Amino acid sequence: MDNKRGACLVCGKPLQYFETERELTCALCGKTFSSSASCMDGHYVCDECHARQGVEVILEHCKKSASRDPVALAREIMADPYIYMHGNEHHILVGAVLLTAYRNAGGDIDLDAALEEMRARGSKYPGGSCGFWGCCGAAVSAGMFWSIATGTTPLSGKSWGLGNRLTAAALDAIGETGGPRCCKRNSYTAIRTAAAFVKEHLGAAMELPETIACTHYEENQQCLRRHCPYYPG
C-alpha cells in the first residue's frame, strides 16, 4: 500500500474531495464515517487506518532520538514508507519532533509521557482540515506541542495566550505561501515557526538548518515548485 504520491491506499488512484460530507465505509477496517474524500473509484480509508503505522514510526524515532533539530528529525521520519506524502499522521509528527527537540535542548518534560499525549491529541484532528476548516493540522500540532510542553489548560493564563499566538503565527506563515495543500511544506513551516517562538518565550534553543531542500516534491502532484520556499530548484 504505497501512498508516497498521496493517492488511494487501496488502488493507488487519485483522491477526490466533496463539498459536503458523505457516509463512507473504510476499506480497511469496515467502519463507517462521515468524510469528504475518497479515491476516484470510491475507496475510502479512515484517518485511524491511514495513520496507524506511521504514528508508530513517529513515536519510535522520537523516543530514541538525541537530536535538537526538529526539522532534521522530521525529515528522517518522513523518509519512512509509512509516512505518506499527505495525511493526518503529520498532525502528530510536527508536535512529536518539537517535543523531542525541546527536551533535548534542555526542556523539562517527560518525553515518553509527552509523546503519548501528543498521539492522543493529534489523532483527534481530522485530515483535510487545512481546506475544510481553514486551519491546517500542522499549525495546530505546533499548538498542541506548546500546551503539552508548558502544561497549558483552558484555565491557564500567560501560557494560554502564548499557545494561541504560536498557532496563529504558524497558520499565518503557512497561509502566506498559499495552496494547494502540502503536508511536507506545512510541517516544515510550522516546525520552524515553533522553534523560533520557543527560543523567544521559553529560552530553549533548538537547532535548525540554514536551508531546507524538499526531497518529496516529485511525489506531490500539486507541488507549487518554484513558488514553494523549500523547492530545491
With pLDDT > 90 as the criterion, what percentage of the chain qualifies?
76
CA distances from 33 to 23, 137, 226 (A): 6, 19, 37
Q: Is the pTM of this model over 0.75?
A: yes
* Dist CA 3 CA 96 (whole Å): 22
Long-range contacts of 195-200 (CB under 8 A, 24+ apart): 195/70, 195/98, 195/101, 197/146, 197/162, 197/165, 197/166, 197/169, 198/98, 198/102, 198/146, 198/149
| pLDDT for the residue 193 | 98
| pLDDT for the residue 16 | 85
Say whether pLDDT at 218 is over 60.
yes
Say whether pLDDT at 160 is over 70.
yes
